[in-house]
């Protein structure tokens, strides 16, 4: 299986031997790679028992957690980096989850699908339909992704919360988008990747 682009970018932001918490870690793919390449010490949080089973098989420390109940089990600044990839939009209260991540971690990495992407806009503007993409192949009524935002929305939230954006990267799957994404990220990137601190 090929590594997701956002995961490649994240790896470059992780310092060797650091302590990592990965929220909604799935089968632990990212932590497994980081363990191997960066010798990190890490824990993954996951709610789905099937994925927890896979993560255990992948030799990952994985903890049953419902992220919507917060991260109260973790002490302040107890991790170097807290990561959440492509799951912010599935949280009941993404803003509170972000607060918790920044409390527990010295740095945070967040990635999310950008709903300002031109294809999403096109779908709504011209077809009058909620966007359904290859990556997020759900209908409006059955999607776990209940809080979509755009790159601009996210940055407004960061500004309101005084969250410092240390770095940001944008990913796009198609070639023309990849060339244009740095120019107009909110229009041409399908995935946004942020390194944050407070």
Give Cβ neighbours of residue 148 (< 8 Å, ≥ 6 apart).
89, 113, 115
- Is residue 99 within 8 A of residue 105, CB to CB? The reply is no
Q: Determine which residue in the list 15, 57, 174, 182 makes contact with another protein, applying CB under 8 A.
A: 57
> Which of 45, 135, 146 is CA-nearest to residue 91?
146
Q: Which stretch binds another protein (CB under 8 A): 47-55, 84-92, 111-119, 186-194?
A: 47-55
Give the nearer residue to another protein in terms of CB position, either 27 or 86.
27
Counting Cα atoms < 13 Å in the Cβ hemisphere of 138 gives: 10
Residue 76 interacts with another protein (CB under 8 A): yes or no: no
Among 15, 37, 53, 174, binds another protein (CB under 8 A): 53
Q: Which is nearer to another protein, 78 or 133 (CB)?
A: 78
What is the C-alpha separation between 24 and 72, in angstroms, rounded? Answer: 16
Report the residue number, 58 or 145, with the smaller CB distance to another protein: 58
Q: Which residues bind another protein (CB under 8 A)?
A: 19, 41, 43, 49-50, 52-57, 59-64, 73-75, 78
């Amino acid at each position: 299986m090929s590594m997701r682009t956002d995961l490649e970018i994240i790896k470059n932001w992780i310092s060797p031997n650091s302590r990592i918490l990965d929220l909604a870690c799935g089968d632990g793919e990212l932590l497994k790679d980081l363990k191997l390449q960066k010798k990190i010490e890490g824990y993954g949080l996951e709610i789905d028992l099937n994925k927890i089973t896979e993560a255990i098989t992948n030799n990952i420390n994985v903890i049953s957690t419902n992220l919507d109940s917060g991260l109260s089990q973790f002490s302040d600044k107890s991790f170097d980096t807290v990561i959440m990839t492509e799951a912010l939009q599935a949280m009941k209260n993404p803003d509170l989850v972000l607060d918790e991540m920044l409390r527990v971690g010295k740095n945070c990495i967040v990635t999310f699908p950008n709903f300002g992407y031109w294809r999403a806009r096109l779908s709504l503007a011209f077809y009058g339909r909620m966007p359904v993409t290859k990556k997020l192949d759900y209908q409006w009524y059955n999607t776990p992704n209940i809080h979509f935002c755009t790159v601009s929305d996210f940055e407004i939230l960061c500004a309101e919360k005084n969250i410092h954006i240390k770095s940001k990267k944008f990913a796009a799957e198609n070639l023309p988008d990849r060339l244009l994404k740095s120019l107009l990220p909110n229009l041409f990137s399908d995935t946004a990747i942020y390194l944050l601190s407070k």
